[in-house]
Structure 1
C-alpha cells in the first residue's frame, strides 16, 4: 500500500474515532443529566471513552493498512491527542498538563492506539 493511501486510511480511522467519541460523550452527558453523576465518575468515563475510541480507531487503521500496524495505530493515538490538545488550547487559551489527568490520558491514548493497531 502506498504511503498516501496509508495516511488517508489513518485520517478515515481518526474521523471514526471522533465520531465514536462524540456518541459516547453524548450518552455520558445524558446519563449525567438523568442520574446526576459526580465529577469523579465523569472524569473516569471521559478517560475510558478516549481509550475505547482510540483503540477502535487503531484497530480500524490496522485493518486498512496491514503493514507495521502497531506504528500506524500509535500514529492514530498521537494524532488523536494532538487534535484534542489543539482544540482544548483554542477553547481555553492555555494548556493544562497534570500528571493525574492529562498525562494519563495521553499515555492511555497512545497505548490504546498501538494495541488496536496490533490487533487490527
Structure 2
C-alpha cells in the first residue's frame, strides 16, 4: 500500500513539473515575440508556481480523499523542494534563503493546500 502512495505522489509531482514547463514555454514565447518586460516574466513564474501547485494539490486530494488540505500542502512543499534542488544543481550554489526563496515556498505550499481543499470529497474514502 505504501509503494502505491509513493508512486502516486511522484506521478502527480511529475505532472506538476510538466505543467510548469508548459506555462514557462508559453511565457518564453510571449517574451520572445512581444519583447515583454521583466514584470511579465516574474508574473509568469509565479503563475506557474500557483497553477502547478493547485493542480497537484487537487489531484492528490482526489487520490487520497481525506486530509486533502494536508496532502495538498505536502504536494506543494515537494514541488518547491524539487525546484530548489534543481536550481541548486544547475547554478552550482547552496540554497539562498532570501525573501524570494521563502515567499516562493509559501506560495507553493499554500497553493497546493488550496488545490487539495478544492478536490471533491469522496464519501467512500473518508
Q: Secondary structure at the match of 2:58?
A: helix
Equivalence map 1:1-120=2 (5 Å): 2-94=1-93, 95-99=95-99, 101-120=100-119
Runs of 5+ unmatched residues, structure 2:
120-126
Instruction: Find the structure with the greater CA-based Rg.
Output: 2
Contact 2:61 2:69 in 1 (8 A): yes
Root-mean-square deviation (CA), in Å? 1.2
Q: Count matched residues.
A: 118
Q: Secondary structure at the match of 1:97?
A: coil
**CA 1:68–1:3: 2 relative to 1, 3 Å:** farther
Give how far 1:3 is off. Answer: 3.8
Contact 1:62 1:72 in 2 (8 A): yes
Contact 2:23 2:44 in 1 (8 A): no
Structure-1 separation of matches of 2:19 and 2:55:
9
Give how far 1:41 is off. Answer: 1.5
Give how far 1:98 is off. Answer: 2.5
Runs of 5+ unmatched residues, structure 1:
none
Q: Secondary structure at the match of 2:82?
A: helix
Give how far 1:26 is off. Answer: 0.6
Q: Secondary structure at the match of 1:37?
A: coil
Contact 1:10 1:72 in 2 (8 A): no
